[in-house]
Every structure is written in C-alpha cells, then in structure tokens.
Amino acid sequence: MVPNWEYAKSMKTIIDFNDMNEPRLMKKIGAAYRVTIFRCIQHNCTEHENDYYINHCIGCGEPIDQRDSSDTCSNKWIICKSCYACCDDDNHIFGSCPDDTCDGKLTLYEKNSQKFAYCTKRCGFRISTYKLPERMKILEAHHIFN
C-alpha cells in the first residue's frame, strides 16, 4: 500500500471574528498524519487502485483501518471497534452505536457508582461497567437514582 496523495491533508485553522472584528482562533483541524488514504499499486493485486482510510482512533489510539470496519457515524467518520469513538462532534462525545443498521449515539449512565453505556435509539446495544472503554470511565455520566 502506498499513499494516495490526492487525499493528502495539511493543518487547517478556522478563524472567526468577534464583535469588534478582531480575529480569534476557533479550531485547528487536520489529520493526525499528512496522508490517511492508501491504495495498492501492484497491478496483479485484487485491491489494485482501491482507496482505504487508515489512521488511529481519536478516543483510544487504536488503529482504524477501513478494510476491517466501515461502520460510520452520522458525520461519516469510521467508528472505532475498540472504544466506539467516531468524531469530535459534541453529539457523539460517548461514541456511536456499532450496529450499522441503527445509526444511534451512545449515552453514558451511572447508577450505584457503576457506569454503563446504552444506544440512544434503544436498539439493545449496551456496554457493561466491566467492558466500558477507558476513555468513558473518566467522562461525566447521567445519574439514575432508582
């Protein structure tokens, strides 16, 4: 696999202006790596000229390879198979449901000092306290008092 340079990314900075027309930095965005789209250039390869996204997860750092998982959130980011993180959108702070037919978001709950996550669309996907990804253990949860 070699980089597909058509998809090469460099750092992009979004600048907004306040009421006094003074610039202020809003957000720096960019891929962790300059190139995240790769393809095989071997003519005899079955994957010849197919583009694949390869990067690491923004939540846990595990590799994300489009060849292993193509489930995406509503923002079209690939959902990590390890911690269910997808993008940095505030609506997906806990991640997305890995059920590709659901397209739901995960919500974190806490009851009796135990945290667990559920899919907001009630498809039945749940992460128990013991299988909760490390990144979710430090996040603030909704409290259930019953």
- pLDDT of 8-28, one tens digit each? 555 555 566 767 776 665 555
Question: Token pair for residue 64?
Answer: 């994300």
Checking if the pLDDT of 2 tops 70, the result is no
Determine the pLDDT at residue 127: 86
**Percentage of residues of the chain with pLDDT beyond 70:** 73
Mean pLDDT of the chain: 77
Residue 106: closest CA among 63, 135, 130: 135
Q: What is the share, in percent, of the chain residues with pLDDT greater than 90?
A: 1
Q: Is the dihedral of CA 118, 120, 125, 131 positive or negative?
A: negative
In sequence order, what DSSP letters do the residues of 25-41 get, joined into one string?
EEEEE--SSS--EEEB-
CA-based nearest residue to 39, from 31, 54, 24, 49: 49
For residue 88, what are its two tokens?
């940095």
The encoded tokens of residue 20 equal 């006094």
pTM for the predicted model, two decimal places? 0.63
pLDDT higher than 70, residue 117: yes
Pull the structure tokens for residue 43: 């003519």
pLDDT given at position 146: 46
Kindly list the distances between the CA atom of residue 23 and the CA atoms of 16, 19, 28, 29, 82, in Å, as whole numbers in the listed order: 6, 10, 14, 17, 39
